[in-house]
Amino acid sequence: MAAKKAKAKKKMSLQGRVLLIVFMLTALVFYKITILLLIGMLPTIAVRLVDKTPDRTKVLTVGFMNFAGCFPYCLQIFDKAHQSANVLFVLANPLNIVIMYAAAVLGYIIEWGIVGFVATIMVQRGRQRLVDIKKTQENIVKKWGPEVTGDMQLDAQGFAIDK
């Protein structure tokens, strides 16, 4: 029964369908920008297909930086909307593509650096917490005696056996 539920495809809600239709209509109206973003955001699409982590932080970081690299060219196309071949001129310039993809690489670098930085901080906090716990245990043993450690053998009544 559970296997059938897991295999069953999720149906899109009415709100999801409406958003999809609005998205498609917007993409058709602004087809030049859609083409630019489709080509310029390829690194983000690739990361989305590859990243299987539950949080998908890499997709967000790379995606936002990649969009930041594409945004000036979107403005350029939007500003010169009366020229239909403007998208092809933007995409035909290799420097523009390099800038768009370099922004995605910068997103990778930011994600890599932040993850390493946060991991280092978490490890250091964990080590400090262990030191604090050991100090607390030592204070408890001083106050209550070695019986509280659980290392002593007990008799049938629960009293410590002296050796």
Q: How confident is the model at residue 110 (pLDDT cuts 50, 70, 90)?
A: very high
- DSSP letter string over 64-75? HHHHHHHHHHHH
pTM greater than the 0.75 cutoff: no
Domain-located, residue 61: yes
pLDDT digits (tens, 9 = 90+) for 111-137: 999 989 999 999 999 999 999 999 999
Domain-located, residue 9: no
Domain-located, residue 146: no
Domain-located, residue 84: yes
Residues 6+ apart with CB under 8 A from 37: 67, 70, 74
Domain-located, residue 140: no
pLDDT digits (tens, 9 = 90+) for 44-83: 999 999 988 888 888 999 999 999 999 999 888 888 765 6
Query: How many separate domains does the chain show?
Result: 1
Domain-located, residue 1: no
- Domain assignment of residue 87, given as a range: 19-112
Alpha helix stretches (DSSP H) within 93-163? 94-144
Domain-located, residue 99: yes
Domain-located, residue 37: yes
